[in-house]
Amino acid sequence: MVPATRVALALLWLVWAVAAWWTAPRAATLDEARADAAAGRIVAHQWADSFGETLWFGRLRFSLDADGVDPVLVWRTGFGRVHYTLIPDVVTEPGPRGDVVVEPNPADDLRAAMPDSQRGTVLPYFAPVLAVVITLICLAILIQGPAPKLGTRWFWFFLGGLPFGLGVLLWLRAERPWAEPEDPAPDRKTGQPSRYGGLTGLGLMILGGIVISLLVALRRGLPEWLVPSALP
């Protein structure tokens, strides 16, 4: 049963990773938004006044603007593909008589092309729900399963907080009940095998998160289809 569970969890992680990559919002242009709208490929869209990226769990942060200005358009096409584009500011220029000439809003045609029936939740739920399922299964096994040998339960609990589920992969690779690691070196004071504790796991999670954040920041020069700009 244990080998089958180990393989099942690894496969679930792989499915989650592919789903998270596929549904991660990708930067697009206004022309691409217009093309998707004209071709009827948009199944849901959302307007927002701000846009943000976060490494840990969320991919886009939406907030409503009291003034009704929505400079961000996010839309989902078939098969869960999500795109976003920033609407440029409305241009104002002085007229020949000194009056102010306001150029048309670049998003007016998009608003007209997208019916209200398409408004709704843009980000698919599949990847986040699968991440929760994997987390709950791993927690149940970590708590109810045999005592870990390399680190305490708290060590693996905190290490499981590494981005992209990397802590889960380490646990599946090296620790009970999936493997039988060698006993760590004995503690000099007690003579008992010394395991990594919760504080060590917390420190590694923070350090690993910083390192991974820096690596993710280097993605800027990579193609958008390969590494989406809003990859979680």
From CA 11, how far away is CA 13, in angstroms rounded? 5
Q: Does 213 share its domain with 131?
A: yes
Could you say which of 122, 154, 181 is where a domain stops? 122
From CA 211, how far away is CA 206, in angstroms rounded? 9
Q: Does 74 share its domain with 40?
A: yes
Report pLDDT for 94: 54
Report pLDDT for 132: 92
Report pLDDT for 65: 47
Q: Does 65 share its domain with 132?
A: no
Q: Does 43 share its domain with 116?
A: yes
Q: Does 11 share its domain with 90?
A: no
- Please tell me whether the peptide bond between 177 and the residue prior to it is cis, using omega within 30 degrees of 0: yes
Residue 96 in any domain: the answer is yes
Q: What's the number of domains the chain is made of?
A: 2
pTM given for the model: 0.78
Residue 65 in any domain: the answer is yes
From CA 227, how far away is CA 58, in angstroms rounded? 16
Residue 228 in any domain: the answer is no
Helix axes 126-144, 166-174, angle to 10 degrees: 40
What is the token pair recorded at 112? 């007209």
Q: Does 108 share its domain with 134?
A: no
**Residue span of the structural domain in which 118 resides:** 26-122
Residue 231 in any domain: the answer is no
Tokens 């180990």 locate to 6
Per residue of the chain (232 residues), give pLDDT as tens: 688 999 999 999 999 999 888 888 888 888 888 888 888 888 888 887 665 554 433 445 555 444 455 678 888 988 888 888 887 665 455 555 544 444 556 667 777 777 666 677 787 888 889 999 999 999 999 999 998 999 999 999 999 999 889 999 999 999 989 988 887 777 677 666 688 899 999 999 999 988 887 877 776 667 777 777 655 4
For the CA atoms of 14, 18, 20, 24, the dihedral, rounded to the nearest 10 degrees, stands at 160
Note whether 142 and 156 are within 8 A (CB).
yes
Residue 227 in any domain: the answer is no
Could you say which of 122, 148, 182 is where a domain stops? 122
Residue 226 in any domain: the answer is no
Residue 229 in any domain: the answer is no
Partnered with residue 186 across adjacent β-strands are 193
Could you say which of 80, 95, 122 is where a domain stops? 122
Note whether 30 and 148 are within 8 A (CB).
no
Report angle CA 222, 43, 14 to the nearest 5 degrees.
50
